[in-house]
């Protein structure tokens, strides 16, 4: 529930809206029992009950108490009901006139989507796949791009081929040649998931990143409709961002952590798109050379040749090259346990 409070309505500081497990929740904050409170924490049911009781009390006083006072005119129940209806009709007509005047003077201003969907860890893969199946572009910013490489990218290419359109992909990963950065990231991952402490090392991070870049380089050669750009970042963020034409999905490099999904048109989506653009401009772009021959690495020697063409991890030993080849060939779902 705390995640939803990240999305506040600027026109209503006390309110928020969002979705939990596909259910939209909006308006005033709700307590653990589902009770919705209005301004200053006023209980809505208590407020309406009090209002109804006050109205009934006033009617009783008008029918049975006031006629016994000096100078008061005795009226029947039907006269009272007619009087109330007439008053309500006049109030409704006045409200309509005021509303039309406001619309005429200020126009109708429709707010964009303000909801946020909290996606449980087991549904992140499905949300990413759904977004990849309905977009012509994809911007990724993260660390090694394991899941993007093995699952999202094939879905993007299948859709582009099936519909015959161009696909634009921007991928920002960590710089594998920055040894200090690799050590920092590996330590961060070990702390984020203690059960996998033995998995993440500097070499593991370098191998995963190199595998992603090799895959992008090969696909850029194979698919003429793919416009792919790779950027190397020098800082580590706890968040991974996947931005499509329909939504932005924010995940964390920690097992069992929910994701946040914001739809296109929301203020967070627009801000993220601008943030991605500025972040790419401040990162080092890695050119993807179009090789004279297609090379799908199947051996350590092939990996060494491709890395030489890409001008990354020069001088890597056979162990690191073997790890890179294994990462390249073996799809991994990081949302499962790593």
List, for residues 256-298, the tens digit of each pLDDT value. 889 999 999 888 999 999 999 999 999 999 998 876 556 788 8
Residue 335, pLDDT > 90, answer: no
What pLDDT score does 183 carry? Answer: 96
Residue 4, pLDDT > 50, answer: no
Residue 27, pLDDT > 80, answer: no
Contact between residue 305 and residue 210 where contact means Cβ atoms under 8 Å apart: no
Residue 26, pLDDT > 60, answer: no
Tell me the per-residue pLDDT of 207-266, one tens digit each, with 9 for 90 and over: 999 999 999 999 988 888 899 999 999 999 999 999 999 999 999 877 788 999 999 988
**pLDDT band at residue 71 using 50, 70 and 90 as cut-offs:** low
What pLDDT score does 102 carry? Answer: 66
What pLDDT score does 156 carry? Answer: 94
Q: The pTM is what?
A: 0.67
Query: In terms of pLDDT, which residue wins out, 22 or 125?
Result: 125
For 53-78, what is the mean pLDDT? 64
Residue 198, pLDDT > 90, answer: no
What pLDDT score does 22 carry? Answer: 44
Query: In terms of pLDDT, which residue wins out, 95 or 109?
Result: 95
């Amino acid at each position: 529930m705390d995640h939803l409070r990240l999305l506040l309505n600027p026109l209503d500081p006390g309110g928020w809206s969002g979705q939990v497990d596909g259910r939209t929740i909006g308006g005033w904050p709700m307590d653990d029992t589902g009770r919705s409170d209005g301004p200053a924490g006023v209980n809505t049911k208590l407020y309406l009950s009090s209002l109804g009781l006050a109205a009934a009390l006033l009617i009783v006083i008008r029918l049975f108490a006031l006629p016994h006072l000096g100078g008061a005119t005795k009226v029947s129940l039907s006269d009272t009901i007619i009087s109330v209806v007439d008053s309500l009709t006049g109030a409704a007509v006045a409200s309509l006139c005021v509303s039309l005047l406001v619309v005429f003077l200020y126009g109708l201003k429709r707010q964009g989507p303000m909801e946020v969907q909290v996606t449980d860890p087991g549904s992140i893969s499905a949300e990413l796949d759904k977004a990849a199946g309905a977009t012509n572009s994809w911007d990724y910013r993260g660390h090694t791009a394991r899941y993007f490489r093995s699952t999202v990218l094939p879905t993007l290419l299948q859709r582009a081929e099936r519909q015959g359109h161009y696909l634009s992909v921007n991928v920002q990963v960590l710089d594998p040649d920055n040894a200090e950065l690799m050590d920092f990231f590996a330590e961060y991952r070990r702390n984020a998931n203690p059960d996998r402490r033995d998995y993440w090392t500097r070499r593991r991070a370098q191998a995963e990143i190199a595998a992603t870049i090799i895959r992008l380089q090969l696909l850029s050669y194979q698919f003429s409709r793919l416009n792919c750009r790779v950027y190397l970042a020098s800082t580590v963020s706890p968040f991974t961002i996947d931005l499509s034409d329909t939504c932005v999905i924010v995940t964390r490099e920690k097992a069992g952590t929910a994701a946040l999904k914001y739809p296109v048109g929301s203020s967070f989506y627009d801000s993220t798109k601008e943030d991605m653009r500025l972040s790419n401009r401040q990162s080092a772009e890695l050119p993807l050379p179009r090789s004279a021959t297609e090379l799908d690495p199947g051996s350590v020697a092939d990996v060494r040749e491709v890395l030489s063409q890409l001008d990354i991890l020069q001088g890597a030993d056979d162990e690191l090259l073997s790890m890179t080849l294994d990462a390249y060939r073996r799809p991994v779902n990081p949302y499962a346990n790593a």
